[in-house]
Structure 1
Amino acid sequence: MMQIPGVLVAYLTGAATAALGMAPFLIRSWLGRRAQVERSAAAEEENARLTSLWQALEDEVGHLASARVPDLVMSLAHPRVPVRGLLDDRFAGTNIERALGSVLEQVRDAVTKERLRVDSAARAAMQGTTSTIQAMLYQMQSTLQQMQERYDDPYIAQDLLAADFLNEQTLRRVQATAVVCGAPWTGLIREDSYLADIVVGARSRVRGYERVEVSNQLRDPVGAVARAVEPVAIAIAELLANALHHSHPDLPVQVALLQGHQGASVLIDDAGIGMHQEEFQRAERLMSGRTPVLLTELGDPPRMGFPAIGQLAHQHGFAVRVEPSPYGGVRAIVYLPGALLTHMDPESQSMSAMAPRPRSDTAPAPAPPPGGEGLPRRRRRQPTTAQARPRHADTAPDRSPEEAGQRWAAFQAGTESGRAAAEPGARQVEGNATS
């Protein structure tokens, strides 16, 4: 057997020992390189994730600017417009979502404050304008009334009535606008008045009045207290105008006066196109008068009727609501609580000759003017001179002067007995016109 030299054995033994000593270092080096590779891969993965997250954040900010902020601004004018949410659900519940929400809230506050400022300025400007126009229309009304007394020619009188009626239409629209813009007074101060007279006076303010049929079902001579007369008349006129406008020209509008234990109501029924549920809800909100309404929310052109009714009802203590009518259209209900009602004394103040008598009243009603074309008189500054209106005020009938004169004389005679009692104490409040 061959002998290994001792020197070789010693060398091999030393080499093995050295190799074993290097093993931990080599293992650590290998493990380090493996960890470095893994860290590099993780870093690349994290970098890709952060890059994606950063891109998503950029997209989210762009979505905020291009979609969510415009949605928010639009929803402030039109509440039914939805405001879109986050583009990426990864930001839900994070500080990023809270930061973007804070931006929306700041935009909401800024836009709301600016809208209120602009609306307040517009209301103030319109108040001044409507006050001036209203005073001028009252002066025009008085002038036309004096001309009606001065001229006996029936054709001239008819033209004057037509002009007076157009003046009344303009006054009604200006009046509603003034109320919506916060006018502190409605333009007239009246005395306690029969509820039937108020309804008849309101009917005379609207185009198509001849289609309005009034039924007086009150048990007692019920009237409204002075402070509520003109506001209630304005509200009823607006409701009548709405009913006439949204129903067929051949269909009547039914009005009923009802008396209850706690107050009295005026029911207005039309057989028109009706309203959707959302329209009923909007009408209820507007006519409650409890929530502020911006002019920009009223459409173009703005619809002042329901907001004006709401303001008057809220300020003076009566209530107005609308609901589906049994005739297929809309029923409007004006409710006056007992605090706004008074018992009228027929001996000291009789009802208008044009007002419908209660069903329980067996006394014969005054005969209507020949031809049945008269319009119930409105409350006037000088009530003894007010005239009833012809059915077609804008066209003169094809009659001879003699026949027209006879009809006009009969018309005046037929209403003379009820004039003084019909419109007690309507007094104009003159506003100071400002330039």
Structure 2
Amino acid sequence: MTATHPPKRAETEQSDIASTRIDSAEVLVTSPGRNFVTLRLRTRDGVIGLGDATVNGRELAVASYLRDYVAPLLVGRDAHAVEDTWQYLYRGAYWRRGPITMAAIAAVDTALWDIKAKMAGMPLYQLLGGRSRRGCLAYGHASGNDLDELLDSVRAHLDEGYRAIRIQTGVPGLESVYGVASSSNAHVGRHGTTSRYDHEPARRSSAPVEESWDTRAYLRHAPKVFDAVRAEFGPELPLLHDAHHRLTPIQAARLGKELEPYDLFWLEDVTPAENTSVLRRVREHTTTPLAIGEVFNTIWDYRELFEEQLIDYVRSPVTHAGGITALRRILDYAAIYQIKSGVHGPTDVSPVGLAAALHLGIAIPNFGIQEYMKHSTETVEVFQPTYSFVDGLLDPGAEPGLGISYDDDVAAAHPYSRAYLPVNRLQLDGSMHDW
């Protein structure tokens, strides 16, 4: 009788790798209320992973980057090699960083984590260290053209279960202000019909809408707004505010100082993000917590901010910062300096990107807060998320992987349509301004 021997370990490993190799990489573009780019990877065993690659207003640039340059490199690679694939795509390309490149890498990275967790039969957060909290505190967007409209919006968000709220209002003398749901430019949908601002603040048109801006009017108005909100809702409700990069350092310092009596959870994006060193001036003059980074793409953007402790919250989303692998590195670095996460989460981050942020947020020790704008019904029908929002907390759910499924038939009913966010000009002389 001939003895049979078990397969050698190397042979078994090679067999396992063969079954987990990527068999296909598809780039999916759909517009269920707004435009999204999704990467779908499939292994030879048929396991599917999804990644969000949406860059608002430049969606097709990322789609091309993925379809024409990255997807051909992925077929045949081991889906389990998440770190090696990240390094391959980042270090292997001469042109590094930037929103298009990093969104493409993020989509690949997120899809690979989705596959890995599905193969393990676990929700993704279990592979990131398990739960560190019951749920992720979320904040919503309350806004109004005037104070009465704003206060009604805050009440509506409280009724929906939010326990932290961003406050944005119109400015007297300005017809439309980005970030305000009832602004005159906020309701134009795909075919010129009205639609909720939360779902699509961009206009489907051949060119961006042009809005007017007056910084002095805004600085006079903002403290009055927070005074009214605190008078109505008391001192306990966490309040946030976004300046949308519109201020100079000294203007930002003034705003932060004048808002100190209202105990903001944070003041966000006070100055243009390109010159991070100007936040030293802001920090010198105010103790209002600062959040920044939704337009940052890599850990290198944060080094000076962390080491000099110039900010309190990191705003980068998984989708635009290189994926779960890269954002975890950023947040681990932030934790050294007691800086917390405040991940960007508007509706131009798809449910895939939001789910990835929730799995990361539920696991990391330095979670701060999660932005949460509810997606449209059409978007939910395409992506079918299993995360939940209860009593102010988001939970990623217990499904293996990210907990997102993509419905091709529903997606096909919502073809891509180019859309632009508004641009900003000074009311005084019409010159271009930051937003």
Superposition TM-score, scaled by structure 1 size: 0.22
Structure number with the bigger relative contact order (C-alpha 8 A, sep ≥ 6) is 2
**Structure index of larger Rg:** 1
Superposition TM-score, scaled by structure 2 size: 0.22
Greater fraction of residues in strand: 2
Greater fraction of residues in helix: 1
